[in-house]
Chains A and B, each alone.
Chain A
Amino acid sequence: MATVTAAPVTTPPSVRKGPRAKPLPVIGRIAVWIYLLLCMVPLVFMVATSFKPSGIAKQLPPAWIFKPTFSHYVQVLQGGSGTSVGFDRLLFNSAAVTIGSTLLTIALAVPAAYALSLRAFRPRKGLSSWILSTYMFPPIVAVIPIFIYAGKLGLIDTYPVLIVPYAAFNLPIAVWILRSSILQIPYEIQESAMVDGASRWMVLRKIILPLLTPSIATVAILSAILSWNEFLFALSLTRAAAKTAPVGIQEFTGMFGTDWGNLTAAATIIAAPIVIMTLILRRRIVSGMTFGAVK
């Protein structure tokens, strides 16, 4: 049997189309790897320069053999690196805002996602669509009114003025990821628990939340990444006390040029936590960023 089916498959195409069809993928494969390696240049530049002694940082041709130094990292983390607010303080602000907005996102999204999964809740479809559609809302449009009202309320340059909008802009992704994982839990389990006398609260706590833990982790990481990276709101709504690292890093470019060692060390510190999390949780992050549309 095997020889019979194999013969017509291999002989005619491999004789006629084989030579033409094969080389293209090979060249394509090489091109793909060249592209991927070229894409690493900015990262190699960033990491290598952060370990170079100041004297050779801007040397051309770039120095490839050197004794690595941690002095830039030490200087940056101790806050003595030329930014108006110490970089250590900027990192602390970034972390505080990220943690605050991530907790707020989860606290709001879990109950909302549960409500949107209840079959008896009629407007669930319309509300889900509306929540998804707010993803297209451009932050630049929100920033002007928030700037004016935060000014009137004396909230400029505080943590809440960043935490609250960040949570709001993370909500569409969070609600959608959580809702689709709740919908994947068989409704019959919930129903039979309630027939047995469990309250809605008990169903949520004892059945849904334990099964939802992995999705809550995905939501937490995604909203942490989005909040950590955010720039527009942080730039417009903070001055010094609540300024975050992505805003502060711009100050490494001063009147007298840029201190590459300190800039790249700070850049590596900002990027590292996200890179590590993304590499560990690759599939979940891509899936989450598509609202769960790609598994």
Chain B
Amino acid sequence: MTDTLAAKPSPTVTEKPEGYGLRPRRERKGETLVPWVLMTPTLVLLALMTIMPTIYLLRASVRNDTLLNTNGRFVGLANYSNALTDPTFWHSLLITIGFVVVAVALEMLLGMALSLPLAGERLSSTWGTTLLLLPFAITPVVSAMIFKELLNPNYGWVDYYLGQLGLPAHIEWLSHPTTAWIALIGLDVWQWTPFVALILIAGLQSLPGEPREAAAIDGASTWQMFWHVTLPQLKPFIAIALVLRTIQAFKTFDYFKVMTGGGPGDSTEILNLAIYRIALQSFRIGAAAAIAILLLILLSLLVPALLRGVGRNADPEEA
């Protein structure tokens, strides 16, 4: 055993073992069958949870089924045209995209601002990452419940301390569209900026130091150093954080359900919440299915970015 290991240390020997006779026959037998057998349970389950629902919803979206009566009839593209001519659908779509863009942009900027000072020294890095990990580790529903109580206009700490600082207090945060949005985006930023910052800190700490040293010797200013050296080096990490956060933000459900339930009115009813309400509270499966399919089309535009960003960096075979 040890002899064979020691006898063939060079990769050129193992690279072309076709001549050995022993290996090809033995491996070819199981070559196609064994991997497929090992893969099957995973592929079946993933298909069951992604492809099957898609097929089901495609079928449901051209029928007028309800939750109580799944024997509705074929209605063609009526559900789609209803959705696309309904201003509430466009409102939901618009605020969904708005939420994702604003929250993710803030998280990227803040995460970048946090990562630069924290990546440097060992001590501040240790303490800084500990503080970063705390909000990141809280169960999202729990964060939403805690934020809701903190924003309570009668007893909440936020209004009390704003008042102490001489700022407008006794705001009914979740009763007005603007302040409800500030609260929701604030919650998302509070919880997920650390994720971005931790990715960028890991990135900064893995970068080679030479380009920055060379720039320092050439007398680059802090800003020049950041813009022309650090930022280009950090690009792959920024891409990963951006793609993952965008996908996660599109899936957000808990914060909205717990904090506002889509209200006041329908001012914070993002698509996820609209689909949930139409399907499981109004029981209109066909209408919800059409919106779900439209959301799926929107999200699948992100797949190439995901595969490029994550695939290239996480896949050792791509190197």
Q: Which residues of A contact B (CB under 8 A)?
A: 8-9, 12-13, 17, 20-21, 24-25, 28-29, 31-32, 35-37, 39-43, 45-46, 58, 60-62, 108-109, 111-112, 114-116, 118, 120-121, 124-125, 127-129, 131-148, 164-165, 167-169, 171-172, 175-176, 180, 183-184, 187-189, 191-196, 200, 228-229, 231-232, 235-236, 246-247, 249-250, 252-253, 258, 260, 263-264, 267, 270-271, 274-275, 277-279, 282-283, 286-287, 289-295
- B84 at interface, CB cutoff 8 A: no
Inter-subunit contact B46/A171 (CB<8 Å): yes
With a cutoff of 8 Å between Cβ atoms, the chain B residues found around residue A37 in the complex are: 131
A239 to B128, CA, bound (A): 41
With a cutoff of 8 Å between Cβ atoms, the chain A residues found around residue B20 in the complex are: 195
Query: Per a CB cutoff under 8 Å, which of B39, B114, B275 touches A35?
Result: B114
With a cutoff of 8 Å between Cβ atoms, the chain A residues found around residue B34 in the complex are: 115, 118, 200
With a cutoff of 8 Å between Cβ atoms, the chain B residues found around residue A146 in the complex are: 49, 53
A231 to B256, CA, bound (A): 12
With a cutoff of 8 Å between Cβ atoms, the chain A residues found around residue B26 in the complex are: 194
Residues of chain B from 140 to 161 with CB closer than 8 A to chain A in the complex: 140-143, 145-150, 155, 157, 160
Count chain B CB atoms within 10 A of each CB in A62, A127, A133 and give the residue with the most: A133
- Which residue in chain A gives the minimum CB-CB distance to B142? A267
With a cutoff of 8 Å between Cβ atoms, the chain A residues found around residue B275 in the complex are: 140-141, 144
- B108 at interface, CB cutoff 8 A: no
With a cutoff of 8 Å between Cβ atoms, the chain A residues found around residue B42 in the complex are: 108-109, 111-112, 131, 171, 175
Query: Per a CB cutoff under 8 Å, which of B30, B217, B307, B309 touches A133?
Result: B307
Inter-subunit contact B222/A271 (CB<8 Å): no
A275 to chain B, nearest CB (A): 4
Inter-subunit contact B52/A145 (CB<8 Å): yes
- Which residue in chain B gives the minimum CB-CB distance to A258? B149
- B93 at interface, CB cutoff 8 A: no
- B57 at interface, CB cutoff 8 A: yes
Inter-subunit contact B280/A144 (CB<8 Å): yes
Inter-subunit contact B314/A140 (CB<8 Å): no
Residues of chain B from 1 to 52 with CB closer than 8 A to chain A in the complex: 1, 4-5, 8, 11, 14, 17, 20, 22-23, 26-28, 30-32, 34-36, 38-39, 41-43, 45-46, 48-50, 52
Inter-subunit contact A246/B219 (CB<8 Å): no
A54 to chain B, nearest CB (A): 13
A112 to chain B, nearest CB (A): 4
Given contacts A24-B222, A62-B160, A192-B8, contact A231 B27 (CB under 8 A): no
- B94 at interface, CB cutoff 8 A: no
A136 to B305, CA, bound (A): 11
Inter-subunit contact A282/B23 (CB<8 Å): no
A146 to B23, CA, bound (A): 46
Given contacts A111-B38, A120-B31, contact A133 B306 (CB under 8 A): yes
- B303 at interface, CB cutoff 8 A: yes
With a cutoff of 8 Å between Cβ atoms, the chain A residues found around residue B60 in the complex are: 144
A112 to B41, CA, bound (A): 8
Given contacts A134-B46, A140-B292, A183-B317, contact A278 B133 (CB under 8 A): yes
Q: What are 9 inter-chain pairs, A to B, with CB distance below 8 A?
A: A12-B219, A29-B124, A32-B117, A116-B35, A142-B50, A169-B49, A192-B5, A236-B276, A258-B149
Given contacts A112-B41, A145-B56, A191-B14, contact A9 B222 (CB under 8 A): no
Inter-subunit contact A195/B23 (CB<8 Å): yes
- B181 at interface, CB cutoff 8 A: no
B69 to chain A, nearest CB (A): 12
With a cutoff of 8 Å between Cβ atoms, the chain A residues found around residue B85 in the complex are: none
Given contacts A135-B306, A144-B288, A267-B146, contact A164 B250 (CB under 8 A): no
A279 to chain B, nearest CB (A): 6
Given contacts A140-B253, A191-B23, contact A41 B157 (CB under 8 A): yes
- Which residue in chain B gives the minimum CB-CB distance to A282? B133
- Which residue in chain A gives the minimum CB-CB distance to B236? A293
A228 to B138, CA, bound (A): 11
Inter-subunit contact A168/B46 (CB<8 Å): yes
Inter-subunit contact A271/B27 (CB<8 Å): no
A286 to B190, CA, bound (A): 17
Inter-subunit contact A231/B219 (CB<8 Å): no
Given contacts A12-B219, A133-B306, A141-B53, contact A294 B240 (CB under 8 A): yes
A157 to chain B, nearest CB (A): 14
- B99 at interface, CB cutoff 8 A: no
Inter-subunit contact B117/A196 (CB<8 Å): no
With a cutoff of 8 Å between Cβ atoms, the chain A residues found around residue B173 in the complex are: none
Inter-subunit contact B237/A294 (CB<8 Å): yes
With a cutoff of 8 Å between Cβ atoms, the chain A residues found around residue B265 in the complex are: none
With a cutoff of 8 Å between Cβ atoms, the chain A residues found around residue B71 in the complex are: none
With a cutoff of 8 Å between Cβ atoms, the chain B residues found around residue A114 in the complex are: 38
Inter-subunit contact B199/A184 (CB<8 Å): no
